[in-house]
Structure 1
Amino acid sequence: MAFVVSTESTVTDEDRRSRIYSGEVFCIPPRATVAAFAEFAWTMIVEAFGDVDPVTAHESLAVEEYVKILGPLKTGFTHSPQSKELLRAVMADFGADLGLTYFDVPKLRVVPPASYLNAGLGYNYTPHRDTWYSSPQSQNNWWAPIRGVTADSCMVFHPEYWQTPANNTSAEFDAYEWNQSSRRDAALYIKSDPRPHPRLSGTGPGAGVRLIGDAGSILSFSGAQLHATVPNTTREARFSIDFRTVHLDDLVSNAGPPNVDSHSTGTSLRDYRRADTLDALPEEVVSQYDHGGKSDGVLVFDPSVLGVG
């Protein structure tokens, strides 16, 4: 099928979900709620870097010092109550039912030039589906640039593999082992990243489509899309926010595109919280997706291991 990109911003949440499950990607122009979320993130970034310009900090800081800044910055943003409030406002703005919508905590991504840092806290994601990371087929991905991006520092999609199986290493990924060590140890890796990120195996990703946007814009797409980080070849760091949502009805009905090639174990669903109350998903729903996880692993990641309560 053709790769369809829509800039529509007034579709219902139900219609949007149905369309991304069919492979469509929404590239939504700037709107106030997303801009407010991005501005909050930028304020935290500026405070963390102090007198150094965050956009060019890599030019003056040793990479070890840079990583020491990123660690508390990223975890502080993710677990800030205000981040959750701003995320909730974005979802309400897009017409989501906050009693049926659940979100994973938002992530702050920092991608300096790849020649400086492309591992650990600055990991450049190779072509992958989020479903390879033990995510449900109905996962909705949201991605927003904080200061705008160019074609040399954005995200790339590989539409030839939409609903086409690809050889990959997802069978080596277990959500509970990831919670136990890999998420905790990200800051240890600067020159290489040995963590078991699922990736393509023995095949290329095919043609790529790069989507760019201004601050306040946002992408919405299926977690089953094959996508990757474009290695940053500019002289400025790229900053972005991403988060993931699921709809309770979609989980119960097993909605979403068919699973064509994911073999990961465990499930990421225990990380999700209801948008209005922050309650966890009902265990009877989670259990439908909990297959073969590591028996002595960690079901829910504990942020206290990163020094954030």
Structure 2
Amino acid sequence: MSNDFIQPYEGQTDEAFRAALYAGTVFLLPSSETTLRMRDHCWDRVCQVFGDDPRNASKRLSGDQLFQKAGLLRREFYESDVCRQGIADLLRQTGCDANQHLCDPVRLRVITEGGHHNPAAAPVYYAHRDTWYSNPQCQITWWMPLHPVSKYETFSFLPFYFDRAVDNDSGGFDYRQWTSKGTDLKIGWQDAEAGRRELYPRLQESLPQAQRVAFEAQAGEVIVFSGQHLHQTVPIESGETRLSIDFRTVCLPDHDKGLGPKNVDNRSTGDALAGHIPVSPADRGP
């Protein structure tokens, strides 16, 4: 599979931008004033909490210390008005009306060297579609590294399966049950034992390694793709911790019209759109 699978963003806007994503295109958005403002805000806080060398924090901190500090930042970024404003600005940058969108807010991801050997972290490395978590078919994922990353420390796509069904256990995931246990699961990785106890939907068959496409990116660049894409975190066998943020958006008019990729294998139940919030911080309820 050629590495030209991920396309440089060339100014597509609004409906054309989303239609390309719904058809399976993955865009690489260049860094901009908007993305660098969001990146710098998050990176500064990571450095304050993890120390001046956050990429090597796992070598200085115990597993419990790292988890607690990451959890503090996850909640902070998830609730951050700065991050919410960044989402709105990115939507406007791509010609979209932020007022017509809901978002699943910013989430911090911390992937440590050798983290795949920890049974409690196993779900981080499952191949999955974001739609398997009861998300709308028209949901779009935006992923940004907080530092330069190589293809050995990002994640890989399996684009051949964008419109082809794969064996999976998404039928066991129910959004209502998931959120009935509080916000820790919703925000992500606030519960150290959740990976052992909860069902995180995953691929249930082996697929050819050659069909996987990993990528590299610079701090502040953004990878944008449909929640339909099958993808999987790359285990870091040796090197430094990878820190990134991501968020998800749903265009409500597109959702109302039933737009988005065809559902080929998602059997999860419930509706995660109920947990999405207005993009603009000014729209936050009391």
The TM-score normalised by the length of structure 1 is: 0.83
Unaligned ranges ≥5, structure 1:
281-308
Q: Describe how 1:123-272 pairs up with structure 2 within 5 A.
A: 124-181=124-181, 184=184, 186-189=189-192, 193-204=196-207, 207-272=211-276
Per-residue deviation at 1:205? Answer: 6.0
Q: What amino acid does structure 1 have at the position aligned with 2:255? A: L
Q: Deviations over 1:59-88 (max 9, x none)?
A: 121111111111111111111222212222
Residues 158, 205 of structure 1: 8 Å contact kept? no
Aligned to 1:62: 62
Residues 110, 242 of structure 2: 8 Å contact kept? yes
Matches of 2:69 and 2:151 in 1, distance apart?
27
Residues 44, 77 of structure 1: 8 Å contact kept? no
Distance change (3 Å), C-alpha of 1:272 and 1:22:
same
**Bigger relative contact order (CA 8 A; separation at least 6):** 2
Per-residue deviation at 1:181? Answer: 2.9
The 4+ residue runs of structure 1 with deviation greater than 6 A are none
User: More displaced, 222-231 or 232-241?
Assistant: 232-241
Aligned to 2:28: 27
Distance change (3 Å), C-alpha of 1:205 and 1:100:
farther
The TM-score normalised by the length of structure 2 is: 0.89
RMSD: 2.5
Per-residue deviation at 1:118? Answer: 5.2
User: More displaced, 156-165 or 179-188?
Assistant: 179-188
Matches of 1:60 and 1:149 in 2, distance apart?
21
Aligned to 1:278: 283
Q: Describe how 1:78-89 pairs up with structure 2 within 5 A.
A: 78-89=78-89
Partner SS for 1:196: coil
Distance change (3 Å), C-alpha of 1:141 and 1:114:
same
Distance change (3 Å), C-alpha of 1:122 and 1:261:
closer
Distance change (3 Å), C-alpha of 1:14 and 1:192:
closer
Per-residue deviation at 1:115? Answer: 4.0
Residues 38, 82 of structure 2: 8 Å contact kept? no
Q: What amino acid does structure 1 have at the position aligned with 2:246? A: D
Q: Describe how 1:43-58 pairs up with structure 2 within 5 A.
A: 43-50=44-51, 53-58=53-58
User: More displaced, 113-122 or 7-16?
Assistant: 113-122
Unaligned ranges ≥5, structure 2:
none
Distance change (3 Å), C-alpha of 1:184 and 1:274:
closer
Distance change (3 Å), C-alpha of 1:72 and 1:205:
farther
Q: What amino acid does structure 1 have at the position aligned with 2:39? A: A
Per-residue deviation at 1:4? Answer: 3.9
Aligned to 1:5: 6
Q: What amino acid does structure 2 have at the position aligned with 1:223? A: G
Q: Deviations over 1:74-128 (max 9, x none)?
A: 1111112222122222222222112212211111111111347756679623110
Q: What amino acid does structure 1 have at the position aligned with 2:50? A: F
Partner SS for 1:37: helix
Q: What amino acid does structure 1 have at the position aligned with 2:36? A: A
Q: What amino acid does structure 2 have at the position aligned with 1:197? A: Y
Q: What amino acid does structure 2 have at the position aligned with 1:242? A: D
Q: Which one has the bigger helix percentage?
A: 2
Aligned length: 280
Partner SS for 1:149: coil
Per-residue deviation at 1:156? Answer: 0.5
